[in-house]
Amino acid sequence: MEELVRKVAEQTEKTFQEKKDEAKKEMVREIVQKTLERIDELDKEIKELEEKRKILKMDLEDLKNGKLNLIEERQKVDEKARETSIIVIKEVVKKYVPSPWYQPYFIEWNTPSEWNKVWYSTNSTKLSTGDVFNCSFTKDNAIGTYDINGKIINVR
């Protein structure tokens, strides 16, 4: 009888330990699952930020090269470009412009979004709706040296 009680006690303890180990395994699996889900979320956020950065870099490059038409086209075609760009460019319709280089464009600040509300309200230069630029003007005036948060950036 004593032998039977000991075997039952051992079996019960073994079963209890197996259930405890299984619960721990499930906990570890859940931790791994949640960690992988969070990594996936961060990867998506990084990808979105990289896409926005790419758009801003293209805008900067097109401004440096006086290609306002490319910025305008990108904003017409791509909603993400419209939302991401700092400015909105619209072609001024005229009957005759001797060269596309001198095609006039309206440039205005993009409507402030959540990420740039503080910047827009404190740092924006006033652009009136009558301000007109052309490709030649932006190319000549975009280049220079800029101090960005204590870091000197040369735009050529």
Give residue-wise pLDDT tens across range 106-120: 888 787 554 444 444
Residues β-bridged to residue 91: 105
- Asked whether residue 133 carries a pLDDT value surpassing 50, the answer given is yes
Question: At 30, is the pLDDT very low, low, confident or very high (cuts 50, 70, 90)?
Answer: very high
Give 54 or 135, the one with higher predicted confidence. Answer: 54
pTM above 0.85, yes or no: no
In order, the DSSP letters of 92-110 are: PP-S--S-GGG--EEEEEP
Write down how long the chain is: 156
Q: Is the pLDDT of residue 52 over 60?
A: yes
Model pLDDT, residue 143: 83
d(CA 74, CA 51): 13
DSSP 117-144: HHHHHHHPPP--TT-EE-HHHHHHHH-E
Separation of alpha carbons 60 and 54, rounded Å: 10
- Residue 70 has phi, psi (to 5 degrees) of -70, -40
Please tell me the predicted confidence (pLDDT) of residue 118. Answer: 42
Q: Which residue, 79, 31, 105, is CA-closest to 23?
A: 31
Residue 111 three-state SS: coil
What pLDDT does residue 75 have? 94
Residue 56 has pLDDT above 60, yes or no: yes
Q: What is the mean pLDDT of the chain?
A: 83
What is the arithmetic mean of pLDDT over 51-76?
Answer: 93
The residue to which tokens 């791509």 are assigned: 78
Alpha-carbon span 63 to 57, nearest angstrom: 10
Q: Which of 46-50, 76-80, 130-134 has the lowest mean pLDDT?
A: 130-134
Domain positions in the chain: 2-155
